[in-house]
Structure 1
Amino acid sequence: MARILLKNAKLVNEGSIGEVDVLIVDERIEKVASGIADAHAQIIDLEGDYLLPGAIDDQVHFREPGLTHKGDIASESRAAIAGGITSFMEQPNTIPQTTTIEKLEEKFTIASKNSFANYSFKFGGTNDNLEEIKRLDSKSCSGIKLFLGSSTGNMLVDDEHVIEQIFSNTEMVISAHCEDEGTIRRNLDRYLKKYGEDIPIKYHPLIRSAEACYLSSSRAIELAKKTGARLHVFHISTGAETELFRNDIPLENKKITAEVCIHHLWFSDRDYEKKGTLIKWNPAVKTATDREQLWQALLDDRFDVVATDHAPHTLDEKKNVYTKAPSGGPLVQHALVAMLQCHKVGKISLEKIVEKMCHNPAKLFEIENRGFVREGYFADLVQVSLKEPWSVAKENILYKCGWSPFEGTIFDAQVMRTFVNGHLAYDRGNFSNQKKAKRLTFDR
């Protein structure tokens, strides 16, 4: 069995920072302590850099199968490990959609051959696949995904009776994209009449409005309370929605949880003038006031998870007029360093970053033996330096689509090494040719 001894690490884990060594034996963490000695281990000196658990991204779109001109499991998981994300949960709006157990297992087969990071997949709910949902083994995937507002891919679930039936017939986490479709269509019609197809991008947050988000999120939460469903609301984008969530009980006892994404914490509607459709997301990036309220909800624990909603499109696709430019953008390579940049300017502690990007996704989805640096857990680990400035540029962007909304941004933090199941998968710009990723398992 391979033995690796990480020396001189500043470990950020479970609410504290301490100087320790970490001994990895094969795939798992054997020992966490000061002054570990092992004559048979390969020694890697972290030289005082920070060591974090590998980040777990609960919402990505890696575009395989069917949309692989935008990205694929190999290309995007490779970018993810370069960004310190060691596990991901991919969404069902591929081609074909992941709305049958057969198609779900086909995705797992692809990932078992091609993924650089640990993987699981969401099972898509539709207006007519309730019986498939009932057949799902709760340990077979990370949970159910419902689009309660249309997004990339035609998976809108708009039958209220069906939604209630899904909520009533699964104990798995139901992750929901919440935007009210009727409100959006009325808003869009108003701007189409004024501008035609080439609507100025600055109106995107008024079309996919705060009202549309709040109306859908509040309805989903009320239904979850009525049925007892386990609801996780994806990518909250408005200050009004922050009031829908609780922080007076621990995560383990919450039935209703929330996620906020990197782009909603970083950008505001003031950035549309410069970035244009490159920051067109659903839900839309809203105002600077909304952004500050999102930060407050993250810091006071109304929000439980930070994720990316990584959703690559080609530059040619994004350069279309408003109505034809798809929503979404690539983020997995730059999510962790963006949060570390926010730490540098005093917005968030390192411990809180690890809680929201590593610990809480593992808790929320009941992932086995991941998300923490603990003896006996899988050795998914990330070494980061906070003193290695670099600029995001075309030549260092790893996404298949070849662009990033962060292009031109200077980050002071850098991911130095990433371990996946004890294997050194990424080492200061170099990737291992070996893929040691595993299918995530769940303690349910």
Structure 2
Amino acid sequence: MSTFLIKNAKIVNEGKTFEGDVLIEDELITQIDTSISAKPNYTVLDAEGSYLLPGAIDDQVHFREPGLTHKGTIASESRAAVAGGITSFIEQPNTVPNAVTQELLEDKYQIAATSSYANYSFMMGGTNDNLEEILKTNPRNVAGLKLFLGSSTGNMLVDDQETLEKIFSSTKLLIAVHCEDEGTIKANLAAYTAEFGEDIPVTKHHLIRSEEACYLSSSKAIELAKKTGARLHVFHLSTAKEMELFTNKIPLEEKQITAEVCIHHLWFTDEDYATKGNFIKWNPAVKTAKDKDALWKALLNDTIDVIATDHAPHTLEEKNQKYTKAPSGGPLVQHALVALFEAHYQGKISVEKIVEKFCHNPAKIFKIEKRGFIREGYYADLVLVQPQQPWTVKKENILYKCGWSPFEGVNFKARISHTFVNGKLVYQNGKVKEVVAGKRLLFDREK
């Protein structure tokens, strides 16, 4: 049994920051106190000056395995995640083949069991014709159901209204949705193709996958959730207009409809397309400065409940194609937490709020068992952040299999120094240890 004693840390948990010690025995946090005496068998880590956070929980990633492993694997991307302070992830079903049957879903869990550095769960995918498979999903050990209501994902588009209503009415699973209206996008794309041919400038991306496309789809999903009583979670919101669809008037625990924002929508704007090009081409699109400001405001006033990455790597070769051929998505798990700390230094968000939105609230929303908080008896998923240790994102320190980052060249003031997953030290001072420490997430829900 390994025993670690973290001393003199600035512990950030449940809205407070206080100096203290944390004792880790085997997988669990066993003691939190202002001072804990070391014993001969303890490995002592002096964390003076560093923040100690619960490990971040990323509720939306695409790690590309199976079927798209030239872009990334569960092993490669979870290594990058723990280097970035993310200790648990929920991965999406648009791998190849799509995870739309219980057998295909379980295949992904089997891969992760032998290769994931971080804790893991995989969402079941919904289609126009797999309701029977959806209803077999066990809410105790599967994060939820993912529905694509926009065309990001080829044959996973769920566009039949009757089917949608049946799914929303039939399952108690949390339903997470990608909301962009397909008809609006197609019409916009046709108009820009008529103007530019195949060589549409990437600066038009946010006008093709427009505010209207997002709002139309989000509002329909929310209307359906209200009609059926379904538990809805709306992924990667990107527009100011959509904020009117959500509420901050009730506590998170009472919300039936919750909202997520991603790092890229909080960091970039449409003005960055000129320099970043396809490297910030995401679906939904990065939009205007006004939208970005509205997302920050909604995050801080609790209209938006969680922060995620939508980590979705593609190769440099794929991204360097023309706009119409280049896929949407980019890698983010290694740099999300330090980017949020950069926002903290800019006066946009407190460290306590970062922890609330990136650690506590994903655990609450998905009802993840014994994670997301620094509490005695909880799994020791912990991250030490050194607040004033500047470093620059360069090719040689990027851990994604795709080898690039939209943050390349950015100088961050904070750095992750240590990451623990289930009490195991998996990352220390720039090096990932070859410890496959991840466990399958469990959820505190009735079967």
Same fold (TM > 0.5):
yes
Aligned-pair CA distance for 1:153: 4.2
1: distance between equivalents of 2:432 and 2:282? 30
The C-alpha deviation readout for 1:331-389, integer Å capped at 9, x for no partner, is 00000000000000100000000000000000000000000000000000000011010
Q: Do the aligned residues in 2 keep the contact of 1:146 with 1:177 (CA within 8 Å)?
A: yes
Q: How does 1:354-365 map to 2 (within 5 A)?
A: 354-365=355-366
2: distance between equivalents of 1:440 and 1:153? 28
1: distance between equivalents of 2:177 and 2:414? 32
Aligned-pair CA distance for 1:261: 0.2
Q: How does 1:304-319 map to 2 (within 5 A)?
A: 304-319=305-320
The C-alpha deviation readout for 1:143-172, integer Å capped at 9, x for no partner, is 000000011443110001111111011111
Structure 2 partner of 1:11:
11
AA paired with 1:76? E
The C-alpha deviation readout for 1:221-279, integer Å capped at 9, x for no partner, is 00000000000000000000011111011111000000000000000000000000100
The C-alpha deviation readout for 1:424-444, integer Å capped at 9, x for no partner, is 000001222221210000000
Q: Do the aligned residues in 1 keep the contact of 2:231 with 2:257 (CA within 8 Å)?
A: yes
Q: Do the aligned residues in 2 keep the contact of 1:58 with 1:361 (CA within 8 Å)?
A: yes
Structure 1 partner of 2:263:
262
| Residue 335 of structure 2 is aligned to residue 334 of structure 1 | yes
What secondary structure does 1:232 align onto? Answer: strand
Q: Percent identity?
A: 67
What secondary structure does 1:102 align onto? Answer: helix
Q: How does 1:196-275 map to 2 (within 5 A)?
A: 196-275=197-276
1:153 and 1:313, CA in 2 relative to 1: closer, same or farther beyond 3 A? farther
AA paired with 2:289? A
Structure 1 partner of 2:31:
31
Structure 1 partner of 2:173:
172
The C-alpha deviation readout for 1:270-326, integer Å capped at 9, x for no partner, is 000000010000000000000000000000000000000000000110111111100
Q: Do the aligned residues in 1 keep the contact of 2:141 with 2:440 (CA within 8 Å)?
A: no
1: distance between equivalents of 2:201 and 2:70? 27
Structure 2 partner of 1:108:
109
AA paired with 1:409? V
AA paired with 1:18? F
Deviates more, 1:431-440 or 1:14-23: 431-440
AA paired with 2:419? T
What secondary structure does 1:154 align onto? Answer: helix
Q: Do the aligned residues in 2 keep the contact of 1:314 with 1:401 (CA within 8 Å)?
A: yes
What secondary structure does 1:151 align onto? Answer: helix
Q: How does 1:417-428 map to 2 (within 5 A)?
A: 417-428=418-429
2: distance between equivalents of 1:23 and 1:275? 44
> Which residues of structure 1 form unaligned runs of 5+?
none
Q: Do the aligned residues in 2 keep the contact of 1:93 with 1:154 (CA within 8 Å)?
A: no
What secondary structure does 1:311 align onto? Answer: coil
What secondary structure does 2:385 align onto? Answer: strand
Aligned-pair CA distance for 1:98: 0.3
Q: Do the aligned residues in 2 keep the contact of 1:152 with 1:326 (CA within 8 Å)?
A: no
AA paired with 1:245? F
2: distance between equivalents of 1:415 and 1:387? 11
The C-alpha deviation readout for 1:88-138, integer Å capped at 9, x for no partner, is 000000000000000011000000000000000010000000011111111
1: distance between equivalents of 2:404 and 2:439? 28
Structure 2 partner of 1:438:
439
AA paired with 1:154? N
Q: Do the aligned residues in 1 keep the contact of 2:54 with 2:372 (CA within 8 Å)?
A: yes
Q: Do the aligned residues in 2 keep the contact of 1:252 with 1:363 (CA within 8 Å)?
A: yes
AA paired with 1:358? C
What secondary structure does 1:12 align onto? Answer: strand
AA paired with 1:426? Y
What secondary structure does 2:22 align onto? Answer: strand
What secondary structure does 1:120 align onto? Answer: strand
| Residue 28 of structure 2 is aligned to residue 54 of structure 1 | no
Q: CA RMSD for the aligned pairs?
A: 0.6
| Residue 412 of structure 2 is aligned to residue 411 of structure 1 | yes
Q: Do the aligned residues in 1 keep the contact of 2:116 with 2:438 (CA within 8 Å)?
A: yes
1: distance between equivalents of 2:397 and 2:153? 27
What secondary structure does 1:51 align onto? Answer: strand
Deviates more, 1:376-385 or 1:430-439: 430-439
Q: Do the aligned residues in 1 keep the contact of 2:393 with 2:408 (CA within 8 Å)?
A: yes
1: distance between equivalents of 2:196 and 2:437? 51
1: distance between equivalents of 2:321 and 2:431? 35
Deviates more, 1:137-146 or 1:279-288: 137-146
AA paired with 1:14? E
| Residue 392 of structure 2 is aligned to residue 391 of structure 1 | yes
- Structure 1 segments (4+ residues) deviating >6 Å: none
Q: TM-score if structure 1 supplies the norm length?
A: 0.99
Q: Do the aligned residues in 1 keep the contact of 2:359 with 2:372 (CA within 8 Å)?
A: yes
1: distance between equivalents of 2:438 and 2:328? 29
